[in-house]
Amino acid sequence: MSGKIQNQRAWLLVLPVVALVAFNAVIPLMTVVNYSVQETFGDNLFFFEGLKWFEQILHSERFHDALQRQLLFTGIILAIEVPLGVGIALAMPRKGVWVSVCLVLMAMPLLIPWNVVGAMWNIFALPDIGLLGKTLNSMGIDYNFTRQPVAAWVTLIAMDVWHWTSLVVLLAYAGLSAIPDAYYQAARIDGASSWAVFRYIQLPKLKRVLTIAVLLRFMDSFNIYTEPFVLTGGGPGNATTLLSIDLVKIALGQFDLGPAAAMSLIYFLIILLLSWVFYAAMTRGEDS
Amino acid sequence: MQSASRIRFKWLVPTLYVIFLMLPIYWLLNMSFKTTNEILGGFSLYPQSFTFENYRTIFTDPTWYNGYINSLIYVCLNTVISVAVALPAAYAFSRYRFLGDKHLFFWLLTNRMAPAAVFALPFFQLYSAIGLFDTHLAVALAHCLFNIPLAVWILEGFMSGVPKELDETAFIDGYGFWRFFVKIFLPTIAAGIGVAAFFCFMFSWVELLLAKTLTSVAAKPIAATMTRTASTSGYELGLLAAAGALTIVPGALVIFFVRNYIAKGFALGRV
């Protein structure tokens, strides 16, 4: 940070970015704020309502349930994807043609449109014609994700692990390849066990990329909409209705703009707050 | 010496993982080569009566193949816009200190956190109001919301890796700022530009909610064509599977070209 030159004209270089992002972020956000304090009966008639919608949302059981499901979902997929991704990255070859083969194949799920991911897992898990569903059922396990909430959750989590673990692998792999060979040689001379190498050499070096991985996975899993919508539609019942799905149901399904807008703002603030907590916790003790 | 056996079986972990990744994709391909009757008729691990009919339908019916063209147009447009405006901004963040720089950087990143579901309706109203509804440009601009912050983040990381002496020498040699930037600096960080473009392409290609909200006919993305076909003309699973399989192709091509740089992309960025 020290070598940078003080130069206010740098603002000119940033201006196009600020203009474009502000156009896309500030105007819609103001629209949302505007709706969140008003009541409408159609015909573009609006009445000021103050904080009524915010109080209603914060006290509604429906929001609490959706938030709990969301936290549970994000917690589970972080607990699976981060250790699994690091484990796979550690086991990957360091050089040779297999590195490219692995990276290309592993990156594939990341580039499939999200609704196709949902549709793909839908036909993969269908109990009568899907490979997964049929196999489980012929093994004697009663599995039907369109009827059983537990099966729906397992399928949803398997889908997310399938979809996003590769991101953690790519990041962790990049972090690992940045460790100089000299570190490993020194460890070998000291006779360090492979656990010690991981704990005292690899893990500290991975801290930075893991911060990015956890943050990205946290944000994106909290925003997840398309994949569960296509896979389960939020069902059975409301079993897999995560925050985004509930929000779209209220906003576009019931066209309750006020409550939907208030919920959007609360939702966004939760993400901001938790991201900041994650970031602060993971970079604690690091001097900037 | 106990680790010798561990090393010998190490390759099993990535191999099993790749097999897990490929299973649903295989199943999609399997379905795409079957007729809808065969899919609904029973369970089989490979197509009994192999058919290209589904793919033929997609390549001959304009409502299908236009979806791919529309998607590709707005994705490429978005990638170009995002990278072009992110380049000077990333340079400013990596080289200069200016009033509010850290806050600005964080504010940009918060837009990466905004749930698309929150913005769907306001975006529809905004782009209808300025007359861009149902154009490729509308989707390309809307996707800038999350792609520009990402591009700035990645490019800033790459640029910070370039020693400042390069800039200083060029300025002493009498280069003007823009001539230096285009002729000397951009070629130096070509790999970073490739990585940033890759991630912009990726996130614009996979996003559906906003793309679907901002289009109706003229710029309808392939993913929306798929969902609407599913609801109107019954449940043509074979056709949907073929359309889904084809959406994997552009991504797979792009990955292949940047395979040596993907892993670097995020690692060099900073939070």
Three-state DSSP at A235 gives: coil
pLDDT for B49 equals 80
Chain-centroid distance, C-alpha A181:
33
Sorted by where each begins, the domain ranges of chain B are 61-267
pLDDT for A164 equals 94
CB contacts of B45 in chain A (<8 Å) are 131
Fold adopted by A16-282: MetI-like fold (1.10.3720)
Question: Quick one: closest CA in B to A259, which residue?
Answer: B118
- Beta bridge partners, A6, equal B97
- Token couple for A258: 């006020």
For residues A59-77, average pLDDT:
91
Contact A126/B at CB under 8 A: no
CA distance B65 to B247: 11
A244 vs B92, B115, B271: nearest CB: B115
Q: Which of B112, B113, B155, B257 to mutate to test the interface with A (most CBs of A within 10 A)?
A: B113
Question: Quick one: closest CA in B to A205, which residue?
Answer: B267
Q: Which residue has the tokens 């992110």?
A: B86
Max intra-chain CA distance, chain B? 75
pLDDT for B1 equals 39
Measuring CA to CA, how many Å separate B107 from each of A22, B145, B199? Answer: 10, 12, 20
Taking residue A208's Cβ as centre, other Cβ atoms within 10 Å add up to 19
Three-state DSSP at A172 gives: helix
pLDDT for A146 equals 83
Closest to A124 in 3D by CA, of B30, B49, B51: B30
For residues A155-182, average pLDDT:
89
Q: How far is B135 from chain A (nearest CA, A)?
A: 16
pLDDT for B232 equals 45
CB contacts of B255 in chain A (<8 Å) are 104, 107-108, 111
Summary mean pLDDT of chain B: 84
pLDDT for A70 equals 92
Contact B45/A at CB under 8 A: yes
C-beta separation of A260 from A251 below 8 A: yes
C-beta separation of A60 from A263 below 8 A: no
With cut-offs at 50, 70 and 90, classify the pLDDT of residue B144: very high
Q: How far is B243 from chain A (nearest CA, A)?
A: 9
Three-state DSSP at A38 gives: strand
CB contacts of B79 in chain A (<8 Å) are none
Name the DSSP class of A4. P
Evaluate if residue B201 carries a pLDDT over 70. yes
With cut-offs at 50, 70 and 90, classify the pLDDT of residue B264: low
Start-to-end Cα distance in chain A? 8
CB contacts of A8 in chain B (<8 Å) are 98-99
Least confident of A62-76, A166-180, A246-260, B78-92: A246-260
Q: What is the pLDDT of residues B98-126, one digit of tens each?
A: 888 888 888 888 887 777 777 788 888 89
With cut-offs at 50, 70 and 90, classify the pLDDT of residue B228: low
Scanning B213-252 for CB atoms below 8 A from A yields 222-223, 226-227, 237, 240-241, 244, 247-248, 250-252
CB contacts of A192 in chain B (<8 Å) are none
DSSP string covering B76-104, please? HHHHHHHHHHHHHHHHHHHHEE-TTHHHH
Given an 8 Å threshold on Cβ–Cβ distance, is A105 in contact with B149?
no
For residues A218-230, average pLDDT:
88
Evaluate if residue A132 carries a pLDDT over 60. yes
Q: Which of A115, A218, A255 to mutate to test the interface with B (most CBs of B within 10 A)?
A: A115
CB contacts of A92 in chain B (<8 Å) are 14
pLDDT for A171 equals 84
pLDDT for B270 equals 42
Contact A137/B at CB under 8 A: no
pLDDT for B221 equals 85
Evaluate if residue B22 carries a pLDDT over 80. yes
Helix axes A114-125, A131-138, angle to 10 degrees: 30
Measuring CA to CA, how many Å separate A282 from each of A80, A213, A275, A278, B155? Answer: 18, 11, 11, 6, 23
Q: Which residue has the tokens 């792999």?
A: A173
CA distance B178 to B166: 14
Scanning B68-127 for CB atoms below 8 A from A yields 81, 85-86, 88-89, 91-93, 95-99, 101, 104, 108, 110-123, 125-126
- Report percent pLDDT > 90 for chain A: 18
Contact B178/A at CB under 8 A: no
pLDDT for A263 equals 86
pLDDT for A1 equals 44
With cut-offs at 50, 70 and 90, classify the pLDDT of residue B80: very high
Given an 8 Å threshold on Cβ–Cβ distance, is A104 in contact with B255?
yes
CA distance A245 to A117: 17
Instruction: Tell me what ipTM this predicted complex has.
Output: 0.85
pLDDT for B235 equals 65
Evaluate if residue A44 carries a pLDDT over 80. no
- Token couple for B22: 């490929």
Q: Tell me which of A279 and A148 has the higher pLDDT.
A: A148
Given an 8 Å threshold on Cβ–Cβ distance, is B121 in contact with A103?
no
Least confident of A19-33, A40-54, A68-82, B138-152: A40-54
Evaluate if residue A287 carries a pLDDT over 50. no
What is the pTM for the complete model shown?
A: 0.86
Scanning A194-233 for CB atoms below 8 A from B yields 194, 208-209, 211-213, 215-216, 219, 222-223, 225-226, 230
Q: How far is B198 from chain A (nearest CA, A)?
A: 10
DSSP string covering chain B, please? -THHHHHHTTTHHHHHHHHHHHHHHHHHHHHHTS-HHHHHH---SS-SS---HHHHHHHH-HHHHHHHHHHHHHHHHHHHHHHHHHHHHHHHHHHEE-TTHHHHHHHHHHHHHS-HHHHHHHHHHHHHHTT-TTSHHHHHHHHHHHHHHHHHHHHHHHHHTS-THHHHHHHHTT--HHHHIIIIIHHHTHHHHHHHHHHHHHHHHH--HHHHHT-SSTT--HHHHHHHHHHHS---HHHHHHHHHHHHHHHHHHHHHHTTTHHHHHHT---
Domain spanning B61-267, CATH architecture = Orthogonal Bundle (1.10)
DSSP string covering A62-129, please? HHHHHHHHHHHHHHHHHHHHHHHHHHHHHHS-SSSHHHHHHHHHHHGGGGS-HHHHHHHHHHHH-TTT
For residues B163-172, average pLDDT:
90
Taking residue A252's Cβ as centre, other Cβ atoms within 10 Å add up to 16
For residues B1-15, average pLDDT:
70
Contact A181/B at CB under 8 A: no
Least confident of B95-104, B138-147, B230-239: B230-239
Least confident of A168-172, A210-214, A279-283: A279-283
For residues A95-105, average pLDDT:
82
Measuring CA to CA, how many Å separate B170 from each of A30, B159, B257? Answer: 44, 16, 32
pLDDT for A100 equals 81
Evaluate if residue A288 carries a pLDDT over 80. no
A106 vs B18, B121, B126: nearest CB: B18
pLDDT for B125 equals 87
For residues B209-216, average pLDDT:
87
pLDDT for A79 equals 96
B118 vs A121, A134, A267: nearest CB: A267
Q: How far is A51 from chain B (nearest CA, A)?
A: 18
Least confident of A26-40, B42-56, B136-150, B226-240: B226-240
Evaluate if residue A173 carries a pLDDT over 90. no
With cut-offs at 50, 70 and 90, classify the pLDDT of residue A162: very high
Taking one residue from A and the other from B, the number of pairs with CB-CB distance under 8 angstroms is 270
Q: How far is A149 from chain B (nearest CA, A)?
A: 22
Evaluate if residue B83 carries a pLDDT over 90. yes
